[in-house]
Structure 1
Amino acid sequence: MAIIAKKYAQALYETSLDKDVLDLMYDEFAAVDEAVIPNQDKLKAFDSDPKNIAEDRNSLVESAFKGINEYLKNMLFVMAENRHLSILPEVFKAFEGLYNQYYNQDFATVESVHELSQDELDKVGEALIQRTGLSKLIITNVINKSLIGGIRAKVGTKVFDGSIQNDLAQIERKFIRTK
């Protein structure tokens, strides 16, 4: 289903760019995604129930997603028609990736032993931006007592580990190699 989700996301992304509504689309799609996640199992059951004809699925989209822009609603109608409403969170994740790529930004998770101040997060963010070449990072601070000290940052698939836990592990590996 990942390939299908990417196709929906790509189509919506291209439409958003063509119609110059990318930011609006992202905001509305994020709200839809947030509303759908707790109901994903229900959507999956609804999608797979052969009793739900296309008209029923379209009625669900019409009633559940009132007020969203026409392009997003049209995609939801197509997804309903093809019994793909349950993959909406995957479509959003793929769309979000395209959105972030467009703005040269990404999400970063910064693990630390204690909660970092906004000033500390800003400094870490600046350092990560320099290392990654991104324009912007959306940073989340996660407490991880096992680090002992320092921080570990994850940006996309990259990990920057400046924790004491990592330092100790490297020292341990050196001792093992010298035996």
Structure 2
Amino acid sequence: MAKLIAKTYGEALFETALDTGKVDGLFEETEAVGRVLSENPELVRLINHPNILKEEKLQVVENVFADRLSPEMMGFLRIVIEKGRQSELEAIFSYFIAKVKEYKKIGLAHVTSAVELSDAQKKQIEARLLATTVYESLETEYTVDESLIGGLVIRIGDRVVDSSIKTRLYEMKKELMKIQLS
């Protein structure tokens, strides 16, 4: 249910962004509001509290954001609160941000290696990924996992390319286990 709510409201915000030509502006505002909410857990508790009236929640949001946000974003926040979906704002914003990145052909790649990669290696990996995907740019996260022994594990969305030595050894073990000695 929560995913459906995030998708429905995230799509509505995305359509508003497209219709008004404010994709970049609403993207930045979404990130800013998300940051404010994550940095102020008491504000989140207040707007999610079941005993506080919707009108009071709306007034709080107006007081906090009215001078800082576009009319489109303020209208969106009003609708979310009026419909009682404010507890889903983080998921809605995450969906919207992912949708905008998809629209702008910005990919998110997670690269795990056995050792720290040099800047030249990182640039080479990113160039190869851009050449083999539909993305025009990438946001790449690099992590080190020594248990890989060597090679890389690259994850983009739900696609995974695992060329680690750890996985190769595991596959070899599986194949050897299949061999029956007579």
TM value normalised by structure 2: 0.88
1:56 aligns with 2:56: yes
Q: Deviations over 1:79-124 (max 9, x none)?
A: 1112222211101111012112211222111011222223211211
Match of 1:97 in 2: 98
The equivalent of 2:73 in structure 1 is 72
Structure 2 unaligned blocks of 5 or more: none
Matched, 1:170 2:171: yes
Mapped partners of 1:133, 1:174: distance in 2: 35
1:125-144 correspondence runs (5 A): 125-144=126-145
Note closer, same or farther for the CA distance 1:86–1:159 as it changes in structure 2 (3 Å cut).
Answer: same
Question: Once the 2 structures are TM-superposed, how far is the Cα of residue 28 of structure 1 from its aligned partner?
Answer: 1.5
CA shift at 1:34, angstroms? 2.2
- In structure 1, distance between residues paired with 2:150 and 2:36: 37
Question: Over alpha carbons, which structure has the higher Rg?
Answer: 2
| Count of equivalent residues | 178
CA separation in 2, counterparts of 1:54 and 1:82?
9
Once residues 63 and 156 of structure 1 are traced to their aligned partners in structure 2, the CA distance between those partners, rounded to angstroms, is 38
Aligned-pair CA distance for 1:170: 1.3
Does structure 1 retain, via aligned residues, the 8 Å contact 2:108–2:156? yes
Inter-partner Cα distance in structure 2 for 1:177 and 1:143: 32
Unpaired runs of 5+ residues, structure 1, are none
TM-score (norm 1): 0.89
- Between 38-47 and 164-173, the greater mean CA deviation after superposition: 38-47
Q: Cα offset for 1:71? A: 0.9
